[in-house]
Amino acid sequence: MLGFLHVRKGLPELGVADGLRSPQGLFVIAVAALCLGAGIASGIAYNRAASNPQGGGFDFAPEAWVNLTTENTAFSPAQITVRVNTITQISVTNKDTMLHTFTYTSNGTTYSHDLLPSATTSFLVLFHWTGPIQFWCVPHRDLGMVGTITVSPPAGSNKPVVTFGSPDLTTSPGNATIIVSGASQAVAPTNYKANLQIGTSAGTAVAMPPTGGSYVSIIVGSTVYRIYWIDVDGGNTISAGDQFRISGNGVALPSGSSFTFYLLWSDGSAIQTSTWNT
């Protein structure tokens, strides 16, 4: 380019060395250096952001904070609580020398965060409904590296207090019968939902079963279970003496399993739970 301009002016064509020493050559070198420097700087900045184990920056300021650790292939604590509709920063310090993940499924979408060895990873969560959410480490889930996020309702929410007796596994062999020992308010069953968890797998909350011997079906994993509500006093409200019965889909509950029954409020927040082993 410099030689072409020189020839147009009727001057002898410059050699490479003379061209680079000319004012135009120095200008071209300066522009090229600036472009190269910008490219290198951009690459460094991108790599730093992509590999930052501290979680980088956030577009939204957190309103609450939760800290936990991973050590000896276990989360500690394994049970954490966050408020519904609250931007919460979760920070996980991995004290192990191996890679872990913090993985969970929310509203049908699975999210996973790599937890680098001997580093802290931070991320933001925001849940618009209440209830339990399972989290786990992908490589070590089979070793029991699991936990639960309990999304709690806003402070001051008004809901009944319901208490359960111990699960009865003998009255209806092969099934679990849970007796309501008390209820602070007599409210219609449409205000409640129910859910079931087997081991570390939970189903999706369903509406309360109707009275009269009918049931609702709930799928956990690929297995169908039944939940019955026995309205003992016929008042069409959950009250002391009522029973919940959990069974298989026309068969007995599988043996050697741990079960948790959740009685939930209509917004998905927990009212009461009952746990047993078969």
Q: What is the CATH number of the domain that holds 87?
A: 2.60.40.420
Give tens-digit pLDDT for 101-135. 999 998 889 999 999 999 999 999 999 887 889 99
Identify the pLDDT of residue 265: 85
Domain identity same for 105 and 194? no
Three-state DSSP state, 6: helix
Q: Are residues 116 and 222 in the same domain?
A: no
Kindly state whether residues 166 and 148 are assigned to the same domain.
no
Peptide bond into 132 cis (omega under 30): no
Give the per-residue pLDDT at 55. Answer: 42
Q: Each residue of 243-278: pLDDT tens digit?
A: 999 999 999 999 999 999 999 988 788 899 999 998
Inter-residue contact 253 to 270 (CB < 8 Å): no
Under the banding of pLDDT at 50, 70 and 90, the label for residue 234 is confident
Domain around 117 = 64-152
In a domain, 270, yes or no: yes
Closest by CA position to 263, among listed 181, 196, 174, 166: 196
Query: What is the rounded distance in angstroms from the CA atom of residue 222 to the CA atom of residue 138?
Result: 20
Tell me if residue 166 falls in helix, strand or coil.
Answer: coil
Q: Do 180 and 263 belong to one domain? A: yes
pLDDT at res. 235: 82
Where among 152, 185, 204 does a domain terminate?
A: 152
Domain contains 58: no
pLDDT score of 44? 35
Residue 4 has pLDDT above 80, yes or no: no
Q: Report the pLDDT value the prediction gives residue 123, as an integer from 0 to 100.
A: 95
Report the greatest alpha carbon distance in the chain. Answer: 111
92 and 130 fall within a common domain: yes
Q: In what order do the strands lie in the sheet with 64-70?
A: 75-76, 64-70, 88-94, 119-125
* 15 pLDDT higher than 80: no
Q: Which tokens is 99 given?
A: 């890679």
Q: Summarize the confidence of residues 237-246 as an average pLDDT.
A: 90
**Are 119 and 205 in the same domain?**
no
- 166 and 144 inside one domain: no
Q: Are residues 166 and 273 in the same domain?
A: yes
Q: Which pLDDT value is given to residue 269?
A: 83
pLDDT of residue 267: 77
161-165, 207-211, 226-230, 238-242: range with lowest mean pLDDT? 207-211
For residue 150, the model assigns a pLDDT of 86
Q: Is residue 80 domain-shared with residue 148, that is, in the same domain? A: yes
pLDDT in tens, 185-204: 777 788 889 999 999 888 98
Residue 232 domain-assigned (yes or no): yes
Tell me: do 18 and 71 sit in the same domain: no
Say which residues have a Cβ less than 8 Å from residue 230's Cβ, sequence separation at least 6: 211, 242, 243, 244, 245
pLDDT at 37: 46
Look at residue 195 and tell me if it is in a domain.
yes
Choose the final residue of a domain: 152, 180, 196.
152
For residue 157, the model assigns a pLDDT of: 57
| Total domains, the chain | 3
CATH number of the domain encompassing residue 209: 2.60.40
- Each residue's pLDDT tens digit, 16-61: 455 545 555 555 555 555 544 444 434 433 333 333 444 445 567 8
pLDDT score recorded for residue 25: 57
Cβ pair 73, 145 in contact under 8 A:
yes
Q: What is the pLDDT of residues 72-110, one digit of tens each?
A: 999 999 988 888 888 999 999 999 999 999 999 988 899
- Do 92 and 127 reside in the same domain of the chain? yes
pLDDT at 211: 76
Indicate whether 56 belongs to any domain.
no
- Each residue's pLDDT tens digit, 169-190: 988 888 999 999 988 877 778 8
Q: Domain end: 132, 152, 172, which one?
A: 152
Considering the domain architecture, whether residues 46 and 104 belong to the same structural domain is answered as no
Give the side-chain half-sphere CA count within 13 A for 176.
24
